[in-house]
Structures are given as structure tokens and as C-alpha cells.
Amino acid sequence: MSEALVGLQAAPQFEPKIVAFFCNWCTYLAADLAGTSRIKYAPNTRVVRVMCSGRIDPQFVLEAFARGADGVLIGGCHPGDCHYQEGNYKCLRRFHLLQRMLGTLGLEEARFRLEWISAAEADRLKLAVNDMVAKVRALGPLRWSVPAENLAEEVAAS
């Protein structure tokens, strides 16, 4: 082995932090099914259970990015299967608006994703999470954060 390489260590690979907002009735149950079925997927996600994807306020997504998330994944029921009739359509409209806004802020499109995953689709959840983690890992860290004191002031003002 070359003397120049002795003592050098490989740089640790970047592991992205993904915040996942999952619908209680479908995507969250798919994650639960994946766990009970021992289907393994990347452990980079921090799941936030919401009753419906339509209840995800755009501020939740912005705050996740501001607090250090490298990506945000929203999972909801398939269109037409929402337990609250039209919640996922509301989510879809908000997703497109947020996607445009985040794009104007310079955020890469792969960092924000919406997936329709039913309770029986644990394999689809695995593929979606693994794919998003791989894409965000390739992009690198976001480095788009707001100092905690500024965030507290902004939240209090709104």
C-alpha cells in the first residue's frame, strides 16, 4: 500500500434527514405493515403521523426545512380513497403551490415529494423512501436553515 494512503480515512458518507408526513389511514399503516413484515427501508426518515394529508399546513413543510431537514416526503391515500373524501386533493393543490415556491427559493425538486401509498403497499413505501433517500444523498446537505432565535420570532409573529 502506498505511504501516501496510510492513515487516510474515507470521508463519512452524507446521510440525509427526511421528514415524512404520513396519512394515518393509509401511508402510516403501510409503514406499520412494513415493520411487521420486516420489510427494510432506509432509516433516514422521521415519520410525523397526520390524520389526513389534506391537514398538512404548508408551514409544516417550511419549518421542517428550516429546522434542518434535507428532504420532505408526504404520503397520502390514493385519489378517490381518502377517508375524508377530498383531503388528498387538497394536499395535491398545496403540494403544487409549495413545489413552485420552494423552486423559486432555489430548492431542488427531488427534496420535496408526494406519494400516494395505501395501507397494503408496504413495498411501494420501501421503494419511495429508498429512492428519495438516494436522490437527496446525491444532492448533498441542504444547508438552508434559519437560526433558532429567528425561527421563534417568525412563528410568534404569524
Q: Which strand (E) or helix (H) includes residue 116?
A: strand 112-116
Query: How many other β-carbons are positioned within 10 Å of the β-carbon of residue 63?
Result: 17
Tell whether 152 is covered by a domain: yes
Within 13 Å, how many C-alpha atoms sit on residue 61's CB side?
Answer: 26
Tell whether 9 is covered by a domain: no
Mean pLDDT for the stretch of residues 140-152: 70
Split into its structural domains, the chain has a count of 1
**Confidence check: pLDDT of 152 > 80:** no
Tell whether 100 is covered by a domain: yes
Tell whether 13 is covered by a domain: no
Tell whether 8 is covered by a domain: no
What's 86's domain CATH number? 3.40.50
Of 37-41, 101-105, 117-121, 145-149, the least confident: 145-149
Q: What is the pLDDT of residues 9-52, one digit of tens each?
A: 666 789 999 999 999 999 999 999 999 999 999 999 999 999 99
Which residues in 2-107 belong to E strands, given as ranges? 18-23, 45-50, 71-76
At a CB cut-off of 8 Å and minimum separation 6, what does 117 contact? 26, 27, 30, 75, 76, 124, 125, 128
| pTM value > 0.75 | yes
Mean pLDDT for the stretch of residues 58-84: 95
Tell whether 128 is covered by a domain: yes
**Confidence check: pLDDT of 3 > 90:** no
Tell whether 12 is covered by a domain: no
Q: Which residue has the cell 429567528?
A: 150
**Confidence check: pLDDT of 4 > 60:** no
Tell whether 145 is covered by a domain: yes
* Enclosing domain of residue 25: 18-157
Q: What is the pLDDT of residues 88-115, one digit of tens each?
A: 999 999 999 999 999 999 999 999 999 9
* Residue 139 binned pLDDT confidence (cut-offs 50, 70, 90): very high
What pLDDT is attached to residue 13?
A: 87
